[in-house]
Structures are given as structure tokens and as C-alpha cells.
Amino acid sequence: MAVAVIGVGHTKFGNRRDVNVPELAWEAMKQAFDSANVEQKDIDFFVVGTAGLWSSEAAVPSLMAEYAKLGVGSMRVEAACATGSAAIRVGYTAIESGEADVVLVLGVEKMQESPNPTVIEIIGRFGSYFWEFENFGLTFPAYYALHATAYMAKYNATEEDFARVAVKNHYYGAKNPNAQFQKEITLETALNSPYIAWPFKLYDCSPITDGAAAVVLASEEKVKEWGIEEKVWILSQGVGTGTANLSKRETFTSLKSAAFAAELAYKKAGIDMDAPYKQLDGANVHDCFTAAEIIAYEDLRFAKRGEGVELIRNEQTYIGGRIPVNLDGGLKAKGHPIGATGVSQAVEAYKQLLSKAEAGRQAEIKNGRWLTHNVGGTGHYSYVTIYSLEKR
């Protein structure tokens, strides 16, 4: 049974101390209900992606069922920073299997309910706790920095190359009214910011963010029954898992789980493994740190190994290039509310494919396909999803 996204909702990302957790989640849910033109009674199942710990509420699905008057089954899903995509997977497979017809998927995170030092302490634990954090204090930027250093050494990339990713993503973030940072930056600004975990500086890192996003998924049957015109199909999704402990990995210049997930997704969608970008109109990749975006270009086969850095140097991931990437500002400028990120990427795929993105950040839609790449931890979990205007 084919599955479509028939409605989306997205809050402003950033510091959302103006609302509490249910109020924030409802903002996204309300928009999703409105845009899908569905009532609460139409929903068969409700999935919530939230990593939590930094925010006060733990039983979010129940809290939201109460607040939003949803009287159906629900569950909470967690996959670190890929939580939102994992939630989509649960909704997607529920429909694909015939278990449900219409599913609401919500991603929500209110990270700023805790002070930054507490958040740093909690995120540092998204690895192999005892052998990495307890004894050696590897912070989250540091996990990715270990990859960045290896990439620099192997392929002669520079800190300036990484900064170019930040410049691009801030350039597009400035055009996205829902982004946390709506300001363009220069290469100098990025390069002159203080070190967080060498070689990463402040502008190489995604921020701590509050935000929510929601999508309504529906079966092909429901889409027909309701005569829904505005929708995008989930063509395929690949999932991969990496080792918890980074020292168990063969290479630091690639995330094996992401390459694995991409191959699965391409295969199922019938996309050419040698040049997948020729069949896509754009992508959202997991740029929690700048170097991660460059490594993603290679794991997703947008460039050969070692040549991802050329894509950003030659502006091939801007609109008009080989493949536009992160036209919503990415995690870097849009913000990274952990549980909401994967759902936010789905919202962006929907907007881009239906040409509903804001001026200056709308890609040209020729192939009708958009890719999202959402990584939990440092490749601990990877989800690659392909959205399409056409059902296969």
C-alpha cells in the first residue's frame, strides 16, 4: 500500500520560551490537520518522535492526545537526532502494512527548557557511554570532529571548506521564516568564531533548538477516497545502524550506516546508484556539523569519495548546481530540535516538491523527487527517505 504525506505543519524554530511543550506541539499539529483537511477523528494512529530528557515532560504522546483530543493508539519513538525519521518510519510502515489508513507523526523537542551546560552533558551520552563519555568526556561536536580531522588529513580539506557549508546554509536559512538564524554570514565570520571542538568552531555547529513539526500520512486508498491533490509519496526509506563506540569503526571519513541506508533507499526507489543526483531535484542532509554535510555528499553518492569537498568549493549544492542541498537552512541555520528534525525534513520535501517554498530558496522541480538524510548520533542510526510527486 503506497503512503503519501497529505498535510504538514512546522513551527518557528529557535528559542520558544513563549510556549510550553504541548502548546509548541499543537502549533505544528494544528497546521498539519488544516493543511491535510482532516479532523482528529480521521486519525487512526499517532506517533511522537521526541528524545527528551532536557525537557520536563516524559509522556508526550499521552500529553498531546489529551491536549489535542486524539482518542487513538500512540507511541513514542527515539533514535537520537534521527528520532523524527524513525517516527515517520513507524507511521509509514503502519500504513504500508495495512494496520492504519491515516497516521499523524509529530516531532517535538524543547531543548531550551534546560540550561546549555546540561544539554551538552546529555548529548555527550549519544555514543558508547562508558568508554567514551564517562572517562574521556567526548562531547557531541567532538564525535563529529574526530571524523572531520580524519577527512581533512585524508583529502586535504580545510577549516575554510567546512566554513563554506555554514555560509551556504545561513544564506538559505535567511530566506526561511521558520529558521532559528535568519542572517547570512561571511566566510570570515565563520572562520573567526571560537573553537568548540577543534577543528570545529561555533559556526560549524548546529544550535540548541526548540521546535515542532508534524505530517499527516495517508494510504493510497484514502488519498483516492478523499480526492487529495496536494500530496507527496514516500517512495522508499532505508535505515542503517552504526556501532555505538566510534573506535569500533574501520573508517572515520564515512558513516557506514548512512551509505547503507542510501543504497537501500535507492534500490527500492529504482534510482541509479552511479549518479543518483540526476534523478533528484534536491536533498536535505544531516548537517549537524559542517563536515557532516560534506561526508553526506559522499555517503549519498552525490560525489565520489574525497570529492564531496569539491561540491561545496564549486557551489554545486546551491540552487542551479549539481544538486541543491539544505535550502531550508539545514540543521545549521534552521536549527536542530532533535526529535523534530526528521519530520521537519519531510515538511521541507513536501514544500519543495509542491513548489511551496519561499522565494529564493525554491529548487527547480524537474524529476519530482527529493531526498532526506537524517542521522542519529554519529551515524549510530541513519535514515534516508525518498519523497516523490509520482507513486511508483
Catalytic residue among 147, 336, 373, 380: 336
Segment (H or E) for 155: helix 140-155
Segment (H or E) for 334: helix 330-334
Binding track over 177-216 against other proteins, x by CB under 8 A:
-----------------xxxxxxx----------------
Is 373 assigned a catalytic role?
A: no
User: Does 62 help bind other proteins (rule: CB under 8 A)?
Assistant: no
What distance in Å separates the CA atoms of residue 105 and residue 109, rounded to the nearest whole number? 14
User: Does 392 help bind other proteins (rule: CB under 8 A)?
Assistant: no
21, with CB counted inside 10 A (0-12, 13-18, 19+), is buried
Determine contact, residues 49/343, Cβ cutoff 8 Å.
Answer: yes
Determine contact, residues 109/55, Cβ cutoff 8 Å.
Answer: yes
Helices 290-299 and 159-173 cross at an angle (nearest 10°) of 90
User: Does 56 help bind other proteins (rule: CB under 8 A)?
Assistant: yes
User: Does 59 help bind other proteins (rule: CB under 8 A)?
Assistant: no
- CB atoms near residue 170 (< 10 Å): 24
Identify the residue among 34, 66, 99, 134 touching other proteins (CB under 8 A).
134
Catalytic residue among 81, 147, 170, 288: 81
Q: What minimum distance in Å lies between the beta carbon of 245 and other proteins?
A: 7
- With respect to other proteins, which residue has the nearer C-beta, 102 or 292? 292
Question: In the Cβ-directed half-sphere of 384, how many Cα atoms lie within 13 Å?
Answer: 30
What distance in Å separates the CA atoms of residue 290 and residue 164, rounded to the nearest whole number? 8
Identify the residue among 2, 75, 120, 174 touching other proteins (CB under 8 A).
120
What distance in Å separates the CA atoms of residue 173 and residue 179, rounded to the nearest whole number? 6
What distance in Å separates the CA atoms of residue 114 and residue 120, rounded to the nearest whole number? 10
Q: What minimum distance in Å lies between the beta carbon of 249 and other proteins?
A: 8
Q: What minimum distance in Å lies between the beta carbon of 139 and other proteins?
A: 6
Identify the residue among 39, 135, 177, 320 touching other proteins (CB under 8 A).
135
Backbone angles phi, psi at 376, to 5 degrees: -100, 135
Q: What minimum distance in Å lies between the beta carbon of 374 and other proteins?
A: 23
Number of residues that bind other proteins (CB under 8 A): 44
- With respect to other proteins, which residue has the nearer C-beta, 46 or 200? 200
Determine contact, residues 206/345, Cβ cutoff 8 Å.
Answer: no
Q: What minimum distance in Å lies between the beta carbon of 126 and other proteins?
A: 13
Q: What minimum distance in Å lies between the beta carbon of 53 and other proteins?
A: 9
> What is the secondary structure of 103-154 as a DSSP string?
EEEEEEEEGGGS-HHHHHHHHTTSS-IIIIIIHH---HHHHHHHHHHHHHHH
Contacts of other proteins in 8-27 (CB under 8 A): 15, 17-18
Per the DSSP assignment, residues forming a β-bridge with 10 are 213
**Residue 139 has which C-alpha cell?**
562531547
Binding track over 238-267 against other proteins, x by CB under 8 A:
-------xxxxx--x---------------
Is 81 assigned a catalytic role?
A: yes
Determine contact, residues 29/64, Cβ cutoff 8 Å.
Answer: yes
Identify the residue among 63, 72, 75, 150 touching other proteins (CB under 8 A).
150
User: Does 97 help bind other proteins (rule: CB under 8 A)?
Assistant: no
Cis peptide before 199 (omega within 30 of 0): yes
Q: What minimum distance in Å lies between the beta carbon of 150 and other proteins?
A: 4
Q: What minimum distance in Å lies between the beta carbon of 213 and other proteins?
A: 21
Binding track over 284-323 against other proteins, x by CB under 8 A:
----------------------------------------
User: Does 166 help bind other proteins (rule: CB under 8 A)?
Assistant: no
CA distances from 5 to 98, 100, 193, 267 (A): 16, 14, 40, 21
Identify the residue among 48, 65, 103, 142 touching other proteins (CB under 8 A).
142
User: Does 270 help bind other proteins (rule: CB under 8 A)?
Assistant: no
Footprint on this chain of other proteins (rule: CB under 8 A)? 15, 17-18, 56, 115, 117-118, 120-121, 124, 129-139, 141-142, 145-150, 153-154, 194-200, 245-249, 252
Catalytic residues: 81, 336
